[in-house]
Chain A
């Protein structure tokens, strides 16, 4: 979704730039509070954690899906950043990623930096974190709830960003492509991407939660009452805690995986450029310097080329027709299923999804 130079007209780009700068300024202040909230030695660790999240987001943003009548689509990482390091630091992380991508890899125009930060940093983080907080409050106070809330927050944040893009495009697009077409294609494909985003985000947060709960900003409220309540069992809580969270992302992931299986043919149609996911893509785009054989075997740009030939083919013929209908139906289906699963037990639901 990296918007290039000259895509959105100057006034709107400038306005977006001002808003983005404001958001970054607010985030800088807020991040300082988040650092303070971490307390003592924790504060010193937040910057490296934020850096890691940024590097991670950088990696997942390279899962590029060609989008029919829009630009390229990919995982956004806003939800991951918000939940792991908090919303303010999260906005900063994404902004840094976008800045370096623009300067270093020419991904996203320099003059469109404001637009990009607004869409991929601010919108995703705000939507994901608001939803996440609300869900954590409603759901029972368990680790699994955090994982489920993460899944849903990540799932929704991606199409939200796509809708925001369409809005900006409607106001300041340099060319009048019918807005309906843009909206349909963008939202459709981004719901799909949202599923991938949700799976990766939930798995990551779940895994971190299991091993180092102190690193998850979004679970801070969770750990305090837990300790107080099981005061006497504190010693037992540790060994017991380890296996439980390891299992917790499984049901949600499983649902995502089953849906993904059904969609396999459909998605691979889009995602053919980067079949083996994260590692391949990171190798491709130059984060990777050590996996020489890999990088040499298929250079980043060939991969991009493949993706876009695919894109041209897809867009030339279908122009997002498939995207709109099918993905909306399936995406909403997943959404409903996941929503419904919240209160019930995981095992029972796995059956229902299978059946």
Chain B
């Protein structure tokens, strides 16, 4: 419901994955991550297979590997934490290149790295093939309570408004010689935050009034029906089901 432009993570394309109805994609992504997380960490090969599955999805969506990898960087804070684990966790130690590492720590690090990375990659793929507005429609179809869909729509709408106001205020500040550098300018920024809030609200309020005046009652009217065919559901379900097979193998082997 933002003014039409797609979000930054979205990558325009015409692939079969792009064309899938959003609610199928969200459900598939959620199930896939659920399966991944419930896989025992000792089944190292299973995670390799999951990565291959995601690679296949990326290929089908024609999302280049570099695009996904660059967006994985968001995970780095957790990587840092994971890398610390082998040093901090007590328990059985092992030697590697002369450094003493904890075995449970290594397993823990691997667990977080593997599952976290796969989770992030899944989200990145979902976001890069689904427009913001269809994501919301998808969530609505998946029976997210209407009030929450409404808050989410307004949030996205206000994202634009806030950005816009923020830019104007920043220009106004800078043209009076103010540059924010670090903590010392928190006070100014905090005050700006208050002003920003009111300005954004009053602008957004007018948008809302215009919507209400045209009969908006809390849910977006359906202009183009999005329905998922059985084939589309089956196509979307391919990912979590193959993952489930891998997971079951992981538990039994």
The answer to A–B direct touch (Cβ < 8 A) is yes
Query: What is A's interface to B at a CB cutoff of 8 Å?
Result: 4-7, 10, 13, 24, 28, 31-32, 44-45, 47-52, 54-56, 58-60, 64, 66, 69-72, 92-93, 95-97, 99-100, 102-107, 109-111, 174-178, 181, 196, 199-200, 202-208, 211-212, 215, 249, 253-254, 256-257, 260-261, 263-264, 267-268, 271, 275-280, 282-283, 286-291, 301, 304-305, 307-308, 311-312, 315-316, 319
Query: What is B's interface to A at a CB cutoff of 8 Å?
Result: 5, 7-9, 26, 29-30, 33-34, 36-38, 70-71, 73-81, 83-85, 88-91, 104-105, 107-109, 111-112, 114-116, 118-124, 126-127, 132, 135, 139, 144-145, 147-148, 150-164, 166-167, 170, 179-187, 189-195, 197-198, 200-201, 204-205, 207-208, 212, 218
**Which of B8, B80, B112 is A7 in contact with, Cβ under 8 Å?**
B112
Contact status B162-A59, CB under 8 Å = yes
Bound: A268/B185 CA distance, A: 12
Q: Which residue of B lies closest to A198 (CB)?
A: B190
Residues of A within 8 A of B122 (CB): 106, 110
Instruction: Check A71/B182 contact, CB under 8 A, given A290-B163, A290-B167.
Output: no
Contact status B34-A111, CB under 8 Å = yes
Contact status B186-A257, CB under 8 Å = yes
Q: Which residue of A lies closest to B82 (CB)?
A: A175
Contact status A200-B112, CB under 8 Å = no
Nearest Cβ on chain A to B142's Cβ, whole angstroms: 11
Instruction: Check A111/B37 contact, CB under 8 A, given A52-B154, A308-B76.
Output: yes
Contact status B90-A261, CB under 8 Å = no
Nearest Cβ on chain A to B248's Cβ, whole angstroms: 15
Bound: A254/B188 CA distance, A: 11
Bound: A301/B120 CA distance, A: 14
Bound: A194/B170 CA distance, A: 25
Contact status A69-B81, CB under 8 Å = yes
Nearest Cβ on chain A to B56's Cβ, whole angstroms: 19
24 A-B interface contacts by CB (under 8 A): A13-B37, A28-B147, A47-B151, A51-B151, A51-B157, A58-B155, A69-B81, A92-B147, A106-B119, A110-B30, A174-B108, A175-B89, A177-B85, A177-B108, A199-B190, A204-B197, A212-B198, A276-B179, A276-B185, A278-B192, A282-B163, A286-B9, A308-B76, A312-B80
Contact status B186-A51, CB under 8 Å = no
Residues of A within 8 A of B80 (CB): 66, 308, 311-312, 315
**Which of A104, A176, A282 is B135 in contact with, Cβ under 8 Å?**
A104
Contact status A54-B155, CB under 8 Å = yes
Contact status B194-A307, CB under 8 Å = no
Q: Which residue of B lies closest to A202 (CB)?
A: B190
Residues of B within 8 A of A5 (CB): 33, 36-37, 115-116, 118-120
Residues of B within 8 A of A31 (CB): 147
**Which of A54, A72, A316 is B154 in contact with, Cβ under 8 Å?**
A54
Q: Which residue of B lies closest to A50 (CB)?
A: B151
Bound: A71/B112 CA distance, A: 12
Contact status B154-A50, CB under 8 Å = yes
Residues of B within 8 A of A200 (CB): 186, 189-190, 193
**Which of B90, B154, B186 is A260 in contact with, Cβ under 8 Å?**
B186
